[in-house]
Structure 1
Amino acid sequence: MEKETIKVLVGDDTAEKGVHIASELRDAGMYAYTRRNSGETITKSIISDKPDVVILDLTLSDTDALTLIHSLREEADETPAFIVMSDLDNRFIEKQVLSNGASYYLTKPYTAEELAGIVSSLADRNTEGSKKDIELMVTDVIRRVGMPANIKGYYYLRSAIMKAADNRYILEGVTKNLYPAVAKQFNTTSARVERAMRHAIETAWVKSGMEGFIDTFGCPFMSERDRPTNSEFIALAADKLRLDMRAGN
Structure 2
Amino acid sequence: MENERIKVLIGDDSATNGVRVAAKLRDNGITAYTRRKHSKAILDSILNDKPDVVLVDLTLPDADALMVMKQVKETFVSPPAFIVVSDVQNKFIERQVMENGASYFLSKPYDLESLSYIVKSVCRKPIPLNCTDTEIMVTDVIQKLGIPAHIKGYHYLRTAILSAIENSQLMECVTKQLYPCVAKKYATTSSRVERAIRHAIEIAWDRGNAEIINNFFGYTIDSYRGRPTNSEFIALVTDKIRLRLKNTSV
1:17 aligns with 2:17: yes
Instruction: Report what 1:119 is aligned to.
Output: 119
Instruction: Report what 1:184 is aligned to.
Output: none
8 Å CA contact 1:53, 1:119 repeated in 2: yes
Give 1:3 deviation, angstroms: 11
Give 1:87 deviation, angstroms: 0.8
Instruction: Report what 1:75 is aligned to.
Output: 75
Instruction: Report what 1:59 is aligned to.
Output: 59
Q: Distance in 2 between matches of 1:3 and 1:119?
A: 16
Structure 1 vs Structure 2 CA RMSD:
3.7
Instruction: Report what 1:223 is aligned to.
Output: none
| Largest Rg, 1 or 2 | 1
Deviations 1:2-49 (A, max 9, x none): 997111100001111111111111111211100001111101101110
Instruction: Report what 2:207 is aligned to.
Output: 237
8 Å CA contact 1:84, 1:104 repeated in 2: yes
Q: Distance in 2 between matches of 1:2 and 1:117?
A: 19
- Taking the TM superposition and a 5 Å limit, the aligned residue runs for 1:113-192 are 113-123=113-123, 126-128=124-126, 166=148
Q: Give the AA of the match of 2:70.
A: H
Instruction: Report what 2:188 is aligned to.
Output: none
Instruction: Report what 1:108 is aligned to.
Output: 108
Instruction: Report what 2:94 is aligned to.
Output: 94
Unaligned runs of 5+ in 2: 128-136, 152-203, 214-226, 239-250
- The runs of 4+ residues in structure 1 deviating greater than 2 Å are 1-4, 127-130, 132-137, 165-169, 234-241, 243-249
Deviations 1:180-202 (A, max 9, x none): xxxxxxxxxxxxxxxxxxxxxxx
Deviations 1:183-228 (A, max 9, x none): xxxxxxxxxxxxxxxxxxxxxxxxxxxxxxxxxxxxxxxxxxxxxx
SS at match of 2:9: strand
Give 1:238 deviation, angstroms: 3.5
Q: Distance in 2 between matches of 1:93 and 1:136?
A: 27
SS at match of 1:121: helix
| TM score, norm. by length of structure 2 | 0.53
8 Å CA contact 1:3, 1:30 repeated in 2: no
8 Å CA contact 1:4, 1:30 repeated in 2: no
Q: Distance in 2 between matches of 1:2 and 1:24?
A: 17
SS at match of 1:33: strand
Instruction: Report what 1:26 is aligned to.
Output: 26
8 Å CA contact 1:3, 1:29 repeated in 2: no
Q: Distance in 2 between matches of 1:82 and 1:58?
A: 11
SS at match of 1:106: strand
Q: Distance in 1 between matches of 2:33 and 2:208?
A: 34
8 Å CA contact 1:3, 1:28 repeated in 2: no
Paired residue total: 157
Instruction: Report what 2:45 is aligned to.
Output: 45
Q: Distance in 2 between matches of 1:238 and 1:26?
A: 32
8 Å CA contact 2:105, 2:150 repeated in 1: no
